Amino acid sequence: MTSSDLWDRATAERYDEASAGMFAPDVLDPAVDALAALAGDGPVLELAVGTGRVAIPLAERGLEVHGIELSEPMVDVLHRKRPDLPVTVGDMAGASAGTPGTFSLVLLVFNTLGNLRTQDEQVEVFRNAARHLRPGGRFVVEIGVPALRRLPPGQTAVPFDVSPGHVGFDTYDPATQEATSHHFTREPDGSFRYGDHHFRYVWPSECDLMARLAGMEPERRSADWRGAPFTADSESHVSVWRRPVDARG
């Protein structure tokens, strides 16, 4: 069992269009460049691979790329674009892909760690990543920093996008670290379609502790894929942990 929302077929079919901004070259290319540099000669495993936004460009660079994905419809969309990319359908907290202990890089991007809404499950994601890594291999997570500093007393909602075609805001429960993203998307006829996504936010220091519990060591943290310094005002972070070279088991 997993606490994650499950992307159904209708959501999977419109995912690439709905996330078009994340496919833009100025957003995607720096991520792929940084990940390819970390991967070296590979192989690479992407947790929550989705429709292949990152995995396919990495494979096009000649890397051996595997994926784990909970939603079979998302995998179907990926395989229409890249039929030969192997994907295991399962929960990223426990599913196995390829041979454990052989990957040079495991990645989890675009806030997807938060899809698992319990701390225990998030800890297991780090442990699963460590199991798949060869000694010296790296685990990379891209995730937002909770916007709680923008919440005045008594307010629970923070907008993250207000544009002609979309209005989005997050509601937070600081007592449980659970939150919900609310999306109002304009349809061609002028009406709005509502969708929501549930997640558990996690602090950078909490990620470091999860990595330590999984036997990994911190290597670097930046505010984005271009390597901007991470500060108290950063709204996201890209963090890298390493499985020690002398790791056993």
Amino acid 248: pLDDT: 64
Amino acid 247: pLDDT: 65
**pLDDT averaged over the chain?**
95
Contacts (Cβ under 8 Å, ≥6 apart) of 163: none
Half-sphere exposure of 238 (CA within 13 A, CB side): 18
Per the CB < 8 A criterion, the answer to whether 203 and 141 are in contact is no
CB atoms within 10 A of CB 24: 9
Q: Which helix (H) or strand (E) holds 20?
A: helix 20-23
Higher pLDDT, 151 or 65: 65
Per the CB < 8 A criterion, the answer to whether 88 and 62 are in contact is no
pLDDT band at 56 (very low <50, low <70, confident <90, very high): very high
Q: Tell me: the pLDDT tens digits for 173-182?
A: 999 999 999 9
Distance, in Å, from the CA atom of 200 to the CA atom of 198, rounded to the nearest integer, reads 7
**% of residues, the chain, pLDDT over 70:** 99
Calculate mean pLDDT across residues 237-248. Answer: 90
